[in-house]
Chain A
């Protein structure tokens, strides 16, 4: 019983890391229909920049702020220099562009920070908390909290504000949106800024748990993408649900079946779900209506 509880807690911890990465991916997709393969790199940069600022003895909360601002600039630059000039190209070309950007960022990161993993201090004192025999670190609780906050924030932004309406309009029909006085260009730019910011937040939150290195973005990007697809591309609650499911299956698979097969089990399950529901758990059947 104690074991089961620990497997569940571990699964939720791992799952929330995947989910928080997937949320940024979903934001860009829902507006531009571009899958940003460099999303994992935003997350990696979040961890690595945080490490650098803390090394310069910048106070913790300022370091978070600086990291956030810097990565938002990176996201904005990426949209401005890569995506916008290629506007009108089909999504596949744009996706390949983001892949190039991710390789570029990873290369630069390996030159700046080298190949070693780094350690980032947690947000708050990290004495583990015991829940009926299962242990969880406060940092993991921060990740879960942040994930919930982001989903809620995105819901407010997309469904309750005029910017959100613009998002949905640009996604559903850019031409009609332009006629209504909405600038799809601005919306595209804004979606990159937003998702870079979300990536940065995710990176800073999970850095104390996972020892980031220049290449962690690759793994996180792959897991994040699988989770986003599992949840239904474009759906933020779907990303969270997908992340938690993947994390739980990995953890339970490792615990009860075999740790050697945990990825095979987890991704086998993902495939099974996608056979049954090709549009993902919470994905709409007619993709293209927009909204998160």
Chain B
């Protein structure tokens, strides 16, 4: 008797739940539902936090202004905690349970690569905010994946273009032995010929090394006219200080990996005069009004700083462009997974974002060129725009 009662109760609960579910689904207004996964916590949180903030802020703005052609936009924001497992879980949840039209994110390369496979399998468009070119190359395997941050090769080309304009032809490289430095070195070696630049000394250091004087002494004895350093803090700051101690005065060109105030705080005086390629949001105040991206950048920056403590930075700008690209597709009638993908691939021409001006094509799912980067220089303890 008891058993029957339990089964009855379970059954009735089941029926009740299904009834609820149905009611909810049928009673809904039409919405455009998209998912976003960013690393709000964990080691990538300095990247993911502004991305997540920017996304939420922009969605609220769009809905306050009546949504997309009258249809509200719903965003499902998820945090991958900077881990690949969590990114995979959330990706599956967004696609299968939440049934989103497209997925934005995530912040890190490893996590984004894990999501790429799921996006491809389920045929869902994905716009990543991670740097690595692997995400969208080779393009045959990246049918469903796009990304907005500049690839490393653009930073390398920007550096070489700058060196060319300075009349420098012989350079030395000093790169971190981690993935970031190694990719940088590969690209530096690969495209040197296109810019008539020759790498005459090639040195590396380990991420945790404290003194790079030996490598620098060797470079000092070579015929290098400039030094290219590819790494993230604190290594490049150590190198700047070591160079000052050794009295080396060849120009120091860094990577976008040190486009932050921390680098200047660490290196102190030794940072003066160091030049790097960077996105424009490192110094929104410095961007001239006639810049193609000025308007998008200015309104995004103003709104962001009004609503949140802290600056959006270059990472926030990827969050902005990821969302707005998909919104652009929705506005133009691409409202299912397939057509959003087709729209992103074929119809994004001269589209002005905050990172740069995008020209997507079947061969290029990033769509940026070197004009999406500018050169910055340290002057009196701050990054300033280097006019060319």
Instruction: Give me the interface of A with B, judged by CB distance under 8 Å.
Output: 3, 6-7, 9-11, 13-14, 17, 115-119, 128, 135-137, 206, 209-211, 213, 216, 218-219, 250-252, 254-255, 259-260, 262-263
Contacts and interface: CB of A to CB of B under 8 A. Distances in A.
A7 B203 CA distance: 15
B211 A14 contact: yes
B266 A119 contact: yes
Contact of B208 (A10, A136, A219): A219
Shortest 5 CB-CB distances between A and B: which pairs?
A117-B234, A210-B210, A219-B208, A211-B234, A10-B213
A10 B221 CA distance: 16
Contacts of A13: 211, 213
B93 interface: no
Contacts, number: 81
Contacts of B262: 116-117
10 contacts: A10-B217, A14-B210, A115-B46, A116-B262, A117-B234, A135-B245, A135-B247, A218-B208, A250-B214, A251-B214
Contacts of B134: none
Contact of A254 (B43, B215, B234, B247): B215
Interface in B164-218: 177, 203-206, 208, 210-211, 213-215, 217-218
B218 A3 contact: yes
B83 to A, nearest CB: 16
Given A10-B213, A216-B208, A255 B218 contact: yes
B141 interface: no
B210 A206 contact: yes
B237 interface: yes
Contacts of B203: 254, 259
Interface of B: 43, 46, 177, 203-206, 208, 210-211, 213-215, 217-218, 221, 233-234, 237-238, 244-247, 262, 265-266, 268
Given A119-B265, A260-B204, A209 B245 contact: no
Contacts of A210: 210-211, 234, 238
A115 B43 contact: yes
A211 B266 contact: yes
Nearest to B45: A115
A211 B238 contact: yes
Contacts of B265: 119
B119 to A, nearest CB: 29
A10 B237 contact: no
Contacts of A17: 210
A255 B214 CA distance: 5
B305 to A, nearest CB: 21
A3 B211 contact: no
A291 to B, nearest CB: 31
Residue among A210, A213, A259 facing the most chain B CB atoms (10 A cut-off)? A259
Given A10-B217, A255-B217, A117 B211 contact: no
A128 B245 contact: yes
B210 A117 contact: no
Contact of A259 (B215, B246, B268): B215
Contacts of B268: 119
A262 B217 CA distance: 15
Contacts of B214: 6-7, 10-11, 250-252, 254-255, 259, 262
Contacts of B237: 117, 211
Given A117-B234, A119-B266, A255-B217, A135 B246 contact: yes
B205 A259 contact: yes
Nearest to B203: A259
Given A115-B43, A116-B262, A6 B204 contact: no
